Amino acid sequence: MRVRYGIVRSALAGALLAGAAVVSAGCAAEEKPTLVVLGPWTGGEEAPFEKMLKEMGRKNGKHYVYEGTRSLRETLVAQLRTESPPDVAILNGPGELAEYAFEGDAQPLPSDVVGRAIEPWAPRISVADKHGDMQERAYWVPVRVDLKSIVWSRAGEEKAADEDAVWCLGMASGATSGWPGTDWIEDLLLQREGPDVYERWATGALEWTDERVKRAWQDWAALLTTDVDNAKEAITRPFESFGTDRFGLLNKPGYCTREHQGSFARRHYGLDVMPAPTSDFVKGLPADQNAFEVSGDMAAVFKPSDAAWELVLELTSQSARTAWVRAAEPEEQPFFPSGAAGAKGATPASREILRILNDAERICLDASDAMPSTLRGAFQRAVLEFLENPRDEAVLDGLLTQLEAERLLQKRAKAFVLDDLCDVPPGRSSEG
């Protein structure tokens, strides 16, 4: 297994110079070790995490630097190319993480850390060791999770007739536009066909041209065709912003009444906006499926050291989770695989999300997050093209044919490495 080593940071040179100056003055100073954490949170969302890191550093004498970006893949790839990876990276795509494991960039968890690899967020994968022997090991751990398969609405709107409902739609999201649409397709397939079909499709065992997959797109089209102009405009509309410093599409006056979005959306809304299962709002979906899509932010070590592994253990500890929750506003308190960490003052929306998550019979990882990166990108682009004309069956057939060709290509390349995306919620029997 190939391991890359980071270059010496300029900060280290500065520290050596500072140390020399202190010694020449007759005093010795010991520098705190610095570890870099690359992660997905920006725009104020990172503040509670940084506070938690700072509190952790005060206790253990280490110094942590957080680097947040919405373009995680591009940033990490650039850092790996220049042999300057972060000590720890927090990513939300298990398929992408598996690629880093195969390349030798993400490091396998040591025995004292592997217990934190909670499924379905952190499944074991088989990777060849330096001798070419296949070893099944875990390479990342979930540090924060989110619930999908939910719809947000204001009190009174949740019972509105379908013909009166207006769906919020925003597909633009920096370098990864289209993912709110892939979330829709994934959720509709999961709700209608169940976890087994969903898992086979997400892991490359089911054709994109299968009628069950096509039906998910058609279900979405049936919702969109009530307002085709809205669908087209959604291609360039941000997924959560509708103007300068204004967030939450439900907050745009006169725009929409229902939003299909993950649990993170609660940070934009007041107490009058609540989540409920998707099946409550889409006609024809089984009401008793009780399976939900989930996502996660997973930590992997890219520059191995004792301090890096200690950090991973700390990030998944009860004390760190409690500190993270304490530093966050009630509507931004994070969820963890076993539920919230003593979330006193949690909002009604947070409590309802936790109830749905723990009462689910099965939870399944976000399908596109588990796919090979090239197929995930093709899926996102297909959603954007589909929105140009969701009524045209020929367009849909062409897109599914293209995605099936990509699936076959990735299948031949043995790029599908995850085969177990669904599990029983860890907190099902707990009280949160």
Q: Is residue 310 domain-shared with residue 189, that is, in the same domain?
A: no
Q: Which tens digit of pLDDT belongs to each residue from 252-305?
A: 998 999 999 999 999 999 999 999 999 999 988 998 889 999 999 999 999 999
Q: Is residue 75 domain-shared with residue 40, that is, in the same domain?
A: yes
Does the residue 34 lie in any domain? Answer: yes
Q: Is residue 37 domain-shared with residue 60, that is, in the same domain?
A: yes
Q: Which tens digit of pLDDT belongs to each residue from 59-90?
A: 999 999 999 998 899 999 999 999 999 999 99
Looking at the chain, the whole-number percentage of residues with pLDDT higher than 90 is 77
Does the residue 428 lie in any domain? Answer: no
Does the residue 25 lie in any domain? Answer: yes
Q: Is residue 324 domain-shared with residue 285, that is, in the same domain?
A: no
Q: Is residue 97 domain-shared with residue 243, that is, in the same domain?
A: no
Residue 224: pLDDT band (50, 70, 90) is confident
Q: Residue 161's pLDDT is what?
A: 63
Domain boundary pick from 352, 374, 396: 352
pLDDT at 355 over 70: yes
Nearest Cα residue to 102 out of 203, 1, 202, 204:
1
Q: Is residue 165 domain-shared with residue 239, that is, in the same domain?
A: yes
Q: Residue 398's pLDDT is what?
A: 98
Cα separation, 213 vs 23, in Å, equals 68
Does the residue 430 lie in any domain? Answer: no
Does the residue 385 lie in any domain? Answer: yes
Q: Per residue in 391-424, is it b (16+ CB within 10 Å) or e — as a string?
A: eeeeebeebbeebeebbeebeeeebbbbeebbbe
Q: Is residue 71 domain-shared with residue 189, that is, in the same domain?
A: no
Q: Is residue 20 domain-shared with residue 108, that is, in the same domain?
A: yes
SS3 23: helix
Does the residue 206 lie in any domain? Answer: yes
Q: Residue 260's pLDDT is what?
A: 97
Write out the residue range of the structural domain in which residue 88 sits. 10-145+297-352
Q: How many domains does the chain have?
A: 2
For residue 249, give the amino acid letter: L
Higher pLDDT, 196 or 342: 196
pLDDT at 164 over 90: no
Q: Give φ, ψ of 180 to 5 degrees.
A: -60, -25
Nearest Cα residue to 139 out of 174, 110, 169, 179:
110
Does the residue 323 lie in any domain? Answer: yes
Q: Residue 95's pLDDT is what?
A: 93
Does the residue 1 lie in any domain? Answer: no
Q: Is residue 23 domain-shared with residue 57, that is, in the same domain?
A: yes
Domain boundary pick from 314, 332, 352: 352
Q: Is residue 378 domain-shared with residue 241, that is, in the same domain?
A: yes
Q: Which tens digit of pLDDT belongs to each residue from 19-67?
A: 333 333 333 334 667 999 999 999 889 999 999 999 999 999 999 999 9
123 touches 418 (CB < 8 A):
yes
208 touches 409 (CB < 8 A):
no
Cα separation, 44 vs 55, in Å, equals 18
CATH number of 239's domain = 3.40.190.10
364 touches 190 (CB < 8 A):
yes
Cα separation, 381 vs 326, in Å, equals 39
Q: Residue 244's pLDDT is what?
A: 81
Q: Is residue 213 domain-shared with residue 301, that is, in the same domain?
A: no
Q: Is residue 258 domain-shared with residue 175, that is, in the same domain?
A: yes
Nearest Cα residue to 300 out of 3, 52, 38, 46:
38
Residue 343: pLDDT band (50, 70, 90) is low
SS3 295: strand
Q: Residue 22's pLDDT is what?
A: 37
Q: Which tens digit of pLDDT belongs to each residue from 228-260?
A: 888 999 999 999 999 888 999 999 998 999 999
Q: Give Cα separations from 145 to 12, 92, 99, 119, 122 (angstroms).
A: 34, 9, 21, 12, 11
